[in-house]
Chain A
Amino acid sequence: MLSVGRKTGSGGTPDQQGTQELADEAELVRRCQAGERAAQDEFYRRFRRPIAANLYRVLGQRTDLDDLVQDVFVIAFRGLARFRGEARLSTWLYRICINVALGRIRSKTRRPPALLMANPVTDAVESSPPSPEQALRQQQDRERVYRALEAMPPKKRIVLFLHEIEGLDLKEIAFIVEAHPVTVRTRLFYARREFYRLLTEAEEGEG
């Protein structure tokens, strides 16, 4: 996961290791901005998995995931020249991820729904494998969550995802979605109401 939100919030005090990481990031960015191919390779290798995981969690499916990862990196490399370090590199990349995912969600609303749903049970790393019944039930629960998310308008969906699933606070969400915290709070209020209503209604319908 890109280190934003719960693990290393932008408001936290960085320790020595964090300072070293920041210095490494700054050096990596400087080398990338200078057009150093090896640095760009390192940048790609360092962030490719976290970016793919983020996109996967937001969208809940791996259809076109490689294209979306490509989009994130292309946007990142093109925008690195303008990166001034106001935020952590990982936070900045996370924002790009969310914007790319948002674009994908919006385009999906104009196209037929994807035929292939992810099978998170097989993709997730399980510490102790659950029984087949448990696994099926967990998978169904996750699918319900994504179905409810997909039924929501894109902006509300992203805000809700960042808050309720990724655990980010309003300030971090405001930075990522480039909106005022008050706007985010309002949007989140309506999003939560809609999302949990959809979750319970969908289950009632199924039951």
Chain B
Amino acid sequence: MSRRRHIAPHRLVDAMSGRASEREAARIERHVAGCARCAGARERLVRARAAMADIAGQGGPELGWDHIGVRVYWSTSSARHAALREKDHAWWRQPPVTLVAGLGLAAVLGFALTRWSSPTGPAVGGDRPPLAATPPPTPATVVPPLHGVVTFVSGAVAIDGGAPRPHVDDGDVAALFGGAIVEGTRLRTGEGRLVVQFGPDSGFALAPRSSLTLHHFDDRTVELVVEEGAVEVEVSHRRIDQRFSVVAGRHRVSALGTAFQVAHRAGDLDVQCARGRVVVSDGSSQVALSAGEQLQVLEQSLLARALRQAIDRHRLAALERSLARPLLPVWTESQALFETSSTVGLDAPLGRAVRVDGVDVGSGSFSLRVMSGRHHVEVADLNGAFEGGAWIDAGPRARNEARAGADGAVRVLGPGAVEPAPAPAGLPGAPPPSDAQSAARAARRLRHGQLVRALDDSARARQCMTPLEKRDLVAGSFVLLDVGINADGSQGHLNVLSGNVPPEVERCLRAVVDEVELPAGPAAVVRYKLAF
């Protein structure tokens, strides 16, 4: 029988589903009865139709709904913000408004020239009252207050407005780290630094010899008043209804989502913008600063006459390093954070750089808040190299102590000491393997294998690399992670130890690993290198 006379598959389906006429259906039936090929095709199509019915009845898989919801929220709120800005920019394009604005501008110029030539006019940069801190917008509903937490302390500090003093004993440190920073708190530093975090990727660091008051500190308005000294700020993108500003004398520095430094010493203002964009205003004029720009306004000069200038690259790099404050992962409620974090007090030689989990966190002696879990502490030796290190098992609400010698060797004191160290063989500081470690090693191998299987060829991880893919920088990129896996398969801690990708890519990859769910099994701490 020639192929031309076989029944086309879609006609077989028509006959099966009653779409063909009776006569046509009978003809098809007669043909199929005598044609093995068409009979086979019909059988396969019956199965395919059943599969299609199964597909039609399928529900969707469970996804990370909260995570998606947050991303949707951010995307749409940013879009709304962009639309509003577009609207703001567009008003002057309308011809009648342009005419009115032109007339108004001419009138203002005329008035200004008259005042300029008047001998009784005010002196340039004369005494002006400090810019009054604005009241927060009248809330339609109760605005939840923000709670900051201290994440880093070195040297002499005070969080109650008193005289700065070193916090050395356990009680002092517990008082510093155990309370929430709320609206109205006055922070002061002597020869020390103080870092406060108040939300995901948002925090500020008070430089030595500085004082600052949290004038407003709620979900809608954050207003930090710098009385003296410098504050470095890193703030995540604000919602359209949120305001963030630093007030320094008569100037206000407003930001949407950025990293910048405001120094206010003896009346002079110095604003340096590392990322994003800030606007400096004095009530009558405004100057916008983009990333990599600096503005210096002397006390006796006008903001409108101050010049913007580019920050030289060495200074910018130093600023970026300085802004890289130890920020905790996302948290929503300060009390929960107090319950799940602990502090590490490190006594290291003056000026020695210190890394925790591969991240530069400071130098010399300081106290640091860390999430509970296992952390690797390294101190630079005399040559600035990180040759040694030690592990600290930081329990919740615990105070852990470590001391570093001149050679950079770190010794953990008290209950946080990890004996034997859990580092894989070959890691500096790891003790020689023993029989007692074999079970732990097997558990690590098992868990590592599970992580590899879960993440190998992960489309989500590849998607994180999109920014690098565009620049053809994917090959050779990696992130080294330290993952604590509990017996029930959940992740106890997840730290980024090192990597060579930008922070946003690193955050994305970390989030991907964070979402991996493993089966129940032995608890283990593993190092996983996500390499491309």
Interface residue ranges, A against B (CB under 8 Å): 35, 40-41, 44, 48-57, 60, 62-67, 69-70, 73-74, 77-78, 114-116, 120, 123-125, 137-138, 141-142, 144-145, 164-167, 192-193, 195-197, 199-200, 203-204
CB distance from A46 to the nearest CB of B (A): 12
A-B contact pairs, 6 of them (CB 8 A): A50-B60, A53-B58, A73-B76, A78-B79, A123-B61, A196-B45
A-B contact count (CB 8 A): 127
Which one of A78, A116, A164 lies within 8 Å of B459 (CB-CB)?
A116
**What residues of B have a CB within 8 angstroms of the CB of A57 in the complex?**
55-56, 58, 60
Beta-carbon nearest neighbor of A141 in chain B: B51
Question: What 10 A-B pairs come out closest when comparing CB atoms?
Answer: A53-B60, A196-B9, A141-B51, A52-B60, A77-B76, A73-B72, A56-B60, A196-B10, A200-B41, A74-B75
- Is B54 in the interface zone, CB < 8 Å from A? yes
* Interface assignment of B59: CB less than 8 Å from any CB of chain A: yes
User: Are B79 and A70 closer than 8 Å at their CB atoms?
Assistant: no
Number of chain B residues whose Cβ lies closer than 8 Å to a Cβ of chain A:
38
User: Across the interface, do A115 and B459 meet the contact criterion of CB distance under 8 Å?
Assistant: yes
What's the nearest-Cβ distance from chain A to residue B146, in Å? 18
Q: Give the residue of A44, A56, A60, A67 whose beta carbon is less than 8 angstroms from that of B463.
A: A67
* A49 CA to B58 CA, complexed, in Å: 12
Q: List chain B residues, Cβ under 8 A from A62.
A: 61
Inter-chain CA distance A114–B44, complex, in Å, is: 26
Q: Does B129 contact A (CB under 8 A)?
A: no
B81 proximal to A (CB < 8 A): no
Q: Is the CB of A70 within 8 A of B72?
A: yes
CB contacts (< 8 Å) of B330 on chain A: these are none
Complex interface: chain A residues within 8 A of B69 (CB): 41, 44, 48
Is A55 a contact partner of B459 (Cβ separation < 8 A)?
Answer: no
Tell me the complex Cα distance, A63–B10, Å. Answer: 31
Provide the residues of chain B in CB contact with A66, threshold 8 Å: 63-64, 67-68
Which residues on B sit within 8 Å (CB–CB) of A60? 55
> Distance in Å from the Cβ of A50 to the closest Cβ of chain B?
8
Residues of chain A contacted by B79 (CB below 8 angstroms): 74, 78
Is residue B496 within 8 Å, beta carbon to beta carbon, of the partner chain?
A: no
Min distance, Cβ B71 to any Cβ of chain A, angstroms:
5
Q: How far is the CA of A199 from the CA of B59 in the complex (A)?
A: 24
Which residues of B are at the interface with A, using a C-beta cutoff of 8 A? 8-10, 12-13, 41, 44-45, 47-48, 50-52, 54-61, 63-65, 67-69, 71-73, 75-76, 79-80, 457, 459-460, 463
User: Which residues of chain B are near A70, meaning CB under 8 Å?
Assistant: 68, 71-72, 75
Q: Please, which residue of chain A has its CB at the minimum distance from the CB of B42?
A: A200
> Among the listed B12, B59, B80, which residue makes an inter-chain contact with A125, where contact means beta carbons less than 8 Å apart?
B59
CB within 8 Å for A197 and B8 given contacts A67-B463, A141-B51, A144-B51: yes
Query: B73: nearest residue on chain A (CB-CB)?
Result: A40
Are B58 and A120 in contact, with the CB atoms below 8 A? yes
Report whether B55 and A200 are in contact in the complex, using a CB–CB cutoff of 8 Å.
no
Distance in Å: Cβ of A126 to nearest Cβ of chain B: 10
Contact present for A166 and B56 (CB under 8 Å): yes
Assess whether A165 is in contact with B459, with CB atoms less than 8 Å apart: no
Distance between Cα atoms of A199 and B65 in the complex (Å)? 35
Closest Cβ of chain A to B371, distance in Å, is 25
Can you name 12 extra interface pairs (CB under 8 A) apart from A141-B47, A145-B48? A49-B59, A53-B60, A63-B459, A69-B63, A124-B57, A141-B50, A142-B54, A142-B55, A164-B52, A165-B56, A197-B8, A204-B41
Task: State in angstroms the CA–CA spacing of A55 and B68 once bound together.
Answer: 15
Shortest C-beta distance, B516 to chain A (Å), equals 14
Contact A65 B463 (CB under 8 A): no
CB distance from A33 to the nearest CB of B (A): 12
Please measure, in the bound complex, the distance between the C-alpha atom of A64 and the C-alpha atom of B463, giving whole angstroms: 9
Set of chain A residues within 8 Å of B9, measured between Cβ atoms: 193, 196-197, 199-200
B64, closest chain A residue (CB): A66
In the bound complex, do residue B76 and residue A55 qualify as a contact, i.e. CB atoms below 8 Å apart? no
Whether B51 pairs with A138 at a CB distance below 8 angstroms is yes
Q: Which residues of B contact A164 (CB under 8 A)?
A: 52
Contact A48 B65 (CB under 8 A): yes
CB pair A74–B72 under 8 Å, yes or no, is yes
Chain A nearest CB from B279 CB (Å) reads: 25
Residues of A within 8 A of B57 (CB): 124
Determine how close the nearest CB of chain B comes to the CB of A202; give it in whole angstroms: 9
Q: List B contacts of A137 (CB < 8 A).
A: 47
* Contact status A77-B41, CB under 8 Å: no
Residue of B nearest to A62 (CB): B61
B72–A52 touching, CB < 8 Å: no
